[in-house]
Amino acid sequence: MKGFMTRGGIAAGFHYMDEDIVFGDALLNAVKFDKSGGAPMVSLHESAVEALEHHLGFYGGDLKNLPANYELLEDSDGSVFINYLSNAFVAFPDGGIFFDAVERHRNMIIKGLKDYA
């Protein structure tokens, strides 16, 4: 929302991290997964999806009806990614939609497409 686009991958698994270095399978999987070259988004590697399903499973019932599910979307290829625009709809239907946030985001994308054509 401040003009800085980001992309990335989230993976679960073993890794080592301190103030100087990070390495391990989870980091490698996240980086490899993000090199897909698709639209900019933060995608979840299958290891992260499995961990999420495991932990959300403790709530019982259908995972698609949990509040956390609104923070995630599934792409046409089946990959799961973070729905970073969900906060623009947080008050919907009672409080409406934050159209100013959606409009700022749209304008940022249009500018980026022009700048990096």
* Tens digits of residue pLDDT in 84-103: 777 777 766 677 778 888 88
The pLDDT of residue 77: 83
The pLDDT of residue 3: 67
Specify the DSSP element, H or E, that contains 73. Answer: strand 72-74
Per-residue DSSP letter, 79: -
In tens, the pLDDT along 1-12 reads 666 777 788 999
Ranges in the chain, pLDDT < 50: none
Strand bridging mode 80-82 / 42-44: antiparallel
Q: For residue 88, how far is the Cα from the chain centroid?
A: 15
Q: Rounded CA gap, 5 and 80, in Å?
A: 18
The pLDDT of residue 20: 94
Per-residue DSSP letter, 98: -
The pLDDT of residue 38: 65
The pLDDT of residue 37: 63
The predicted model scores a pTM of: 0.71
Q: Rounded CA gap, 29 and 48, in Å?
A: 10
The pLDDT of residue 94: 75
